[in-house]
Amino acid sequence: MNTALIVEDDPAQDELAAQLVRLHDYDPIVAETGESGYELARRCQPDVVLLDLMLPDTSGFEVCRRLRSDRSTSLTPIVMLTALDDTAHRELGFRVGANAYVTKPYGPDDLYLAIAEARNWKAYLEANHMGGELHVELNSESRFLMEVNDFLTSLMISTPLTEDQIQQIRQAVMEMGQNAIEWGNRHRLEDLVRIVYRIFDDRVEIVIRDQGPGFDRENLPHVAQAEDPLAHLDVREKLGLREGGFGMLISRGMVDELFYNDKGNEVTMIKRFTRS
């Protein structure tokens, strides 16, 4: 029988969730704290985790982040259950790796749909021989980019990448993410930056997309070029731009492949590795 780990400290709420999952042919396991939920997830390997946001010892966000960062639970489907229905909490839930988000009070259909969505995510990864995939959306603020980058960096510990290689990817994500915020979305806070992180058997792929109009990659006089990495500084001075323009050149040196879509508002970076 499938198992559902319910991390919830309210007896009435965990009994409701337990009854509903039993009707859906799941065997419920209940944890009343974030720490016990994390340990049970590692030990029992449930088919889905139903994770309350407000826990007595920590937050559901932190538990979700730890589950995603642990090699033994990184692919566990996670549904967040919470009474907080504001956009900020929902976005934070997805930024730390939740697959679905259900607001209390909820009905059976709401819960079953969220469980199906979370488990379909894992089935998709297995069908495509992937070790993980996360989709993250963040507002055009550097602090959100740093938060997401910290989380993505922690996920790469489960790959054979060395610490130096992980730091290289981290820097490339910061450079390209900042470009998306500054040049793509022009610092418009309401415009989103979308980041997709994928792990395959031989590589990590990170896709960063902004909502800007894109750019002509053949006409970038204010950006450093490999053949003469300082020539663009005069152009930037004439245009009244701050010193910089090295992000794309730096990022190309940090990953194995870097390429844009035709429009120029989406960049894909690939770092390869060999599994032992």
- Contacts of residue 128, defined as CB under 8 A and 6 or more positions apart, other chains included, come to none
**166 and 54 part of one domain:** no
**157 and 91 part of one domain:** no
Residue 224: C-alpha distances to residues 161, 179, 219, 250 (Å): 28, 14, 12, 9
Query: What's 120's domain CATH number?
Result: 3.40.50.2300
Q: At residue 228, does pLDDT exceed 60? A: no
pLDDT in tens, 133-142: 888 888 888 8
**250 and 136 part of one domain:** yes
Query: What's 175's domain CATH number?
Result: 3.30.565.10
- Which residue, of 127, 144, 163, is where some domain finishes? 127
**146 and 101 part of one domain:** no
pLDDT in tens, 50-79: 999 899 999 999 999 899 888 889 889 999
**165 and 237 part of one domain:** yes
pLDDT in tens, 173-219: 999 999 899 888 988 988 989 999 998 889 999 999 999 998 766 66
**266 and 135 part of one domain:** yes
**114 and 154 part of one domain:** no
The whole-number pLDDT of residue 232 equals 52
Question: Residue type at 85?
Answer: D
- Which residues pair with residue 196 across a beta bridge? 135, 207
What number of helices (H) and strands (E) belong to the chain?
Answer: 9, 10
The whole-number pLDDT of residue 235 equals 45
**138 and 247 part of one domain:** yes
Mean pLDDT of the chain: 86
Query: In 41-79, which positions are buried (b, 16+ CB within 10 angstroms) versus exposed (e)?
Result: beeeebbbbbbbbebeeebbbebbbbbbbbeebbbbbbb
pTM score over 0.85:
no
Residue 203: C-alpha distances to residues 19, 115, 121, 274 (Å): 42, 29, 19, 8
**64 and 164 part of one domain:** no
Question: Residue type at 40?
Answer: L
Task: Give the max Cα distance, the chain.
Answer: 69
Task: Please check whether residue 269 is in contact with residue 257, taking contact to mean a CB–CB distance below 8 angstroms.
Answer: yes
**195 and 89 part of one domain:** no
**185 and 219 part of one domain:** yes
**79 and 169 part of one domain:** no
Question: What mean pLDDT comes out for the span 218-233?
Answer: 56
- Which residue, of 94, 127, 160, is where some domain finishes? 127
Q: Sheet of 78-82: strands edge to edge?
A: 26-31, 2-7, 48-52, 78-82, 100-103
Comparing C-alpha atoms, which of 14, 42, 16 is closest to residue 29?
Answer: 14
- Which residue, of 81, 105, 127, is where some domain finishes? 127
Provide the domain limits for residue 264.
130-272
DSSP letter for each residue of 150-195: HHHHHHGGGSS--HHHHHHHHHHHHHHHHHIIIIISTT-TTSEEEE
Structural tokens at position 231:
């020539």
Number of domains the chain contains: 2
